[in-house]
Amino acid sequence: MERASPDGNAKKWWKEAVVYQIYPRSFKDSNGDGVGDLKGITSKLDYVKSLGVDVVWLNPVFTSPNDDNGYDISDYRGIMREFGTMQDFDALLQGMHDRGLKLVMDLVVNHSSDEHEWFQQSRRSRDNPYRNYYHWWPAEKGKPHPRRSFFDVNGDAWKLDGPTNSYYLHYFSQKQPDLNWENPRLREEIFSMMRFWFDKGVDGFRMDVIPFISKDTTFPEMPAEYKEDWGRFYANGPHVHQYLREMNEAVLSKYDVMTVAEGAGVTAADALDYVDAGRRELNMLYHFEGVSLGYLPDSLKVPDPKGYKLVEFKEIYSKWDGVFATRGWGSIYLGNHDQPRMATRWGNDTPQWRDLSAKMLTTFLLTMRATPYYYAGDELCMTNIKFDNIEDYRDIESINWYQQVKNKGGDLQAFLEAQKISARDNGRTPFQWDQTAKAGFTTGTPWLEVNPNYTTINAAAQDGGPDSCLNYFRKLVTLRKANPVLIYGEYVLLDKENPTVYAYTRELAGRKMLVLLNFKDTTAAVNTGFDLSKAKVIFGNYPTPSPAGKLQPYEAVIYEL
How far, in Å, CA of 159 to CA of 150, rounded?
14
Nearer to ligand ISL, 172 or 387 (CB): 172
Residues 155-194 that bind ligand ISL (CB under 6 A): 172
Pick the piece of the chain touching ligand ISL (CB under 6 A) from 37-45, 262-270, 451-459, 483-491: 262-270
If contact means CB under 5 to 8 A according to the sort of partner, which of ligand ISL, Ca ion, none does residue 131 touch? none
Nearer to ligand ISL, 330 or 440 (CB): 330
Determine which one of 68, 161, 182, 208 is catalytic.
Answer: 208
How distant, in Å, are the alpha carbons of 102, 364, 548 from that of 524?
41, 17, 11
Residue among 253, 324, 315, 246 at smallest CA distance from 284: 324
Contact 136, 162 (CB under 8 A): no
Q: Output Rg (C-alpha) for the chain, integer angstroms.
A: 23
Q: Shortest distance, CB of residue 112 to ligand ISL, whole angstroms?
A: 10
If contact means CB under 5 to 8 A according to the sort of partner, which of ligand ISL, Ca ion, none does residue 29 touch? Ca ion
Residues 275-294 that bind ligand ISL (CB under 6 A): 288
If contact means CB under 5 to 8 A according to the sort of partner, which of ligand ISL, Ca ion, none does residue 152 touch? none
Number of residues that bind Ca ion (CB under 5 A): 5
Q: Residue 376, interface with ligand ISL (CB under 6 A)?
A: no
Nearer to Ca ion, 31 or 318 (CB): 31
* Site mask for ligand ISL (CB under 6 A), range 322-351, x = bound: ---------------xx-------------
How far, in Å, CA of 409 to CA of 152, rounded?
17
Q: Shortest distance, CB of residue 281 to Ca ion, whole angstroms?
A: 37
Q: Shortest distance, CB of residue 23 to Ca ion, whole angstroms?
A: 14
If contact means CB under 5 to 8 A according to the sort of partner, which of ligand ISL, Ca ion, none does residue 354 touch? none
Region of 249 on the Ramachandran plot (φ > 0 left; ψ -120 to 50 alpha; else beta): alpha
Contact 54, 82 (CB under 8 A): no
Nearer to Ca ion, 43 or 132 (CB): 43
The helices-and-strands tally (H runs, E runs) of the chain is: 18, 20
Nearer to ligand ISL, 363 or 400 (CB): 400
How far, in Å, CA of 260 to CA of 258, rounded?
7
Contact 541, 530 (CB under 8 A): no
Q: What is the dihedral of CA 365, 367, 369, 374, to 10 degrees?
A: 30
How far, in Å, CA of 509 to CA of 480, rounded?
16
Encode burial over 67-104: b for 16+ CB neighbours within 10 A, e otherwise.
Answer: bbbbbbbbbbeebbebbbeeebbeebbebbeeeebbbb
Strand partners, 19: 55, 373
Nearer to ligand ISL, 115 or 560 (CB): 115
SS3 call for 363: helix
Nearer to Ca ion, 29 or 349 (CB): 29
Instruction: Single out the residue of 37, 161, 208, 378 in contact with ligand ISL (rule: CB under 6 A).
Output: 208
How far, in Å, CA of 64 to CA of 85, rounded?
13
Catalytic residue check, 98: no
How far, in Å, CA of 431 to CA of 329, rounded?
30
**What is the sign, positive or negative, of the torsion defined by CA atoms of 164, 166, 170, 174?**
positive
Contact 518, 310 (CB under 8 A): no
Instruction: Single out the residue of 150, 286, 313, 393 in contact with ligand ISL (rule: CB under 6 A).
Output: 150
Q: Shortest distance, CB of residue 211 to ligand ISL, whole angstroms?
A: 9
* Site mask for ligand ISL (CB under 6 A), range 411-450, x = bound: ----------------------------------------
Determine which one of 161, 262, 281, 397 is catalytic.
Answer: 262
How far, in Å, CA of 485 to CA of 171, rounded?
42
Q: DSSP class of residue 561?
A: -
Catalytic residue check, 208: yes
If contact means CB under 5 to 8 A according to the sort of partner, which of ligand ISL, Ca ion, none does residue 244 touch? none
Q: Shortest distance, CB of residue 12 to Ca ion, whole angstroms?
A: 36
Contact 508, 524 (CB under 8 A): no
Nearer to Ca ion, 31 or 183 (CB): 31
Nearer to Ca ion, 29 or 425 (CB): 29
Instruction: Single out the residue of 36, 237, 265, 540 in contact with ligand ISL (rule: CB under 6 A).
Output: 265
Return the HEC string of 467-533. CCHHHHHHHHHHHHHHCHHHHHCEEEEECCCCCCEEEEEEEECCEEEEEEEECCCCCEECCCCCCCC
Q: CB 327: neighbour CB atoms within 10 A? A: 20
Residue among 350, 423, 416 at smallest CA distance from 381: 350
Pick the piece of the chain touching Ca ion (CB under 5 A) from 25-33, 114-122, 308-316, 535-543: 25-33
Q: Would you give the distance in Å from CA 509 to the centre of its chain?
A: 32
Pick the piece of the chain touching ligand ISL (CB under 6 A) from 87-95, 257-265, 306-314, 453-461: 257-265
Instruction: Single out the residue of 96, 108, 271, 469 in contact with ligand ISL (rule: CB under 6 A).
Output: 108
Contact 172, 395 (CB under 8 A): no
Residues 27-46 that bind Ca ion (CB under 5 A): 29, 31, 33, 35, 37
If contact means CB under 5 to 8 A according to the sort of partner, which of Ca ion, ligand ISL, none does residue 31 touch? Ca ion
How far, in Å, CA of 22 to CA of 58, rounded?
5
Instruction: Single out the residue of 24, 231, 303, 372 in contact with ligand ISL (rule: CB under 6 A).
Output: 231
The residues that touch ligand ISL, with contacts defined as CB under 6 A, are 68, 71, 108, 150, 172, 208-209, 231, 262, 264-265, 288, 337-338
Catalytic residues: 208, 262
The residues that touch Ca ion, with contacts defined as CB under 5 A, are 29, 31, 33, 35, 37
